[in-house]
Structure 1
Amino acid sequence: MTRKLLIPLFFITSFFAEAQNIVWKTNFNDAITVSNDEKKPMLIYFTIDGAPKNIETEIFKTPDFAVWSRDNVVLVKLDLSDQSVSEAVRDQNIKIKNAFGVEELPQVCFAMASVRKGKTTFNALGKVAYKPGGAKSWINDCNLLLRPE
């Protein structure tokens, strides 16, 4: 009897632990390379210290988001208040934020990008704001943006 309970518990625990193993790229140039290699758009999460954390706690830390993001996007987190990055990286991140027309933080943008002759060209796919309703609803909005039919 105990064994029958432990096996499903093991799988459930593994599944929820996977949601915590999401890897966010913080170097934009590396993210562009991975995005192009995997032929997946980037999900760029612009944030700053003190910004509301609803999207992180209700969306990004769920098993649904972990599975969806692994299969569909390259995750990029640009924390504009991160003191551990160089001034040049911080300036680059602010320029990227401005290029996407981001005014309020946090904000999620989707894009493809390419680098040719040292110049980065973006193909902005759109923005998806946080809204209450859970991860499945938010993911559905993202899918509509990424795969318009």
Structure 2
Amino acid sequence: MTQKLLILLLFLGSPFAHAQSLVWKTDMNDAIMLGVEQKKPLLIFFTAAGMPQNIQNEIFSTPDFAVWSRDNVILVRLDLSDQNISSTAMEQNVRLKTAFGVEELPQVCFAIASVKKGKTTFNKLGLMPYKPGGAKSWISQSNLILNPE
């Protein structure tokens, strides 16, 4: 009986382990370097304290999103209410929010970063707000932004 219970817990716990293994960058410079190195676009999640958790609970915490994000994007979380980051980093994050046209939080922006002669430029691919429908629908719509045909 104990062995069956352990197997059941392992089976049920494995999707949650995948969802918990997401690595979110919080420093934009680190994310840019990684994106350039891996030739992947950035998924920049603009958020702040007190924002609805729907996108995190229904999309980001799923095994489907964990697998998709690992293969397709560099995850960046920019919390615009984080009191633990420097004022320089906060100013940079707010400038990015404005430059990408993010008006409501939380919101995701897809962008490709490039660095030439020490200067970083961004190519905004699109914005993706939370939409009900689950992770598979959100991923499908994100793929249309990342791979327009």
Q: TM-score range by the shorter chain?
A: over 0.9
| TM-score, length-scaled by structure 2 | 0.92
Q: Residue in 1 aligned with 2:114?
A: 114
Q: Pairwise mapping of residues 1-149 of structure 1 onto structure 2 (< 5 A)?
A: 3=3, 6-7=6-7, 9-149=9-149
The Cα offsets for residues 19-43 of structure 1, whole Å up to 9 and x where unpaired, read as: 1121100000110111111111100
> Which AA in structure 2 matches 1:17?
A
**CA RMSD of superposed structures (Å):** 1.6
User: Post-superposition shift, 1:98?
Assistant: 0.9
Identity of aligned residues (%): 66
User: Post-superposition shift, 1:128?
Assistant: 1.1
> Which AA in structure 2 matches 1:65?
F
DSSP 3-state at the match of 2:124: strand
The Cα offsets for residues 88-120 of structure 1, whole Å up to 9 and x where unpaired, read as: 000011111111011111110000111223321
> Which AA in structure 1 matches 2:18?
E
> Which AA in structure 2 matches 1:30?
D
Are the aligned partners of 2:80 and 2:93 in contact in 1 as well (CA < 8 Å)?
yes
Unaligned runs of 5+ in 2: none
Are the aligned partners of 2:15 and 2:62 in contact in 1 as well (CA < 8 Å)?
no
* Moved >3 Å (runs of 4+): 1-9
Q: How many residues align?
A: 149
| TM-score, length-scaled by structure 1 | 0.92
The Cα offsets for residues 102-142 of structure 1, whole Å up to 9 and x where unpaired, read as: 11111100001112233210011111111111111101100
Aligned-partner Cα distance in 2 for 1:30–1:125: 20
Aligned-partner Cα distance in 2 for 1:124–1:31: 15
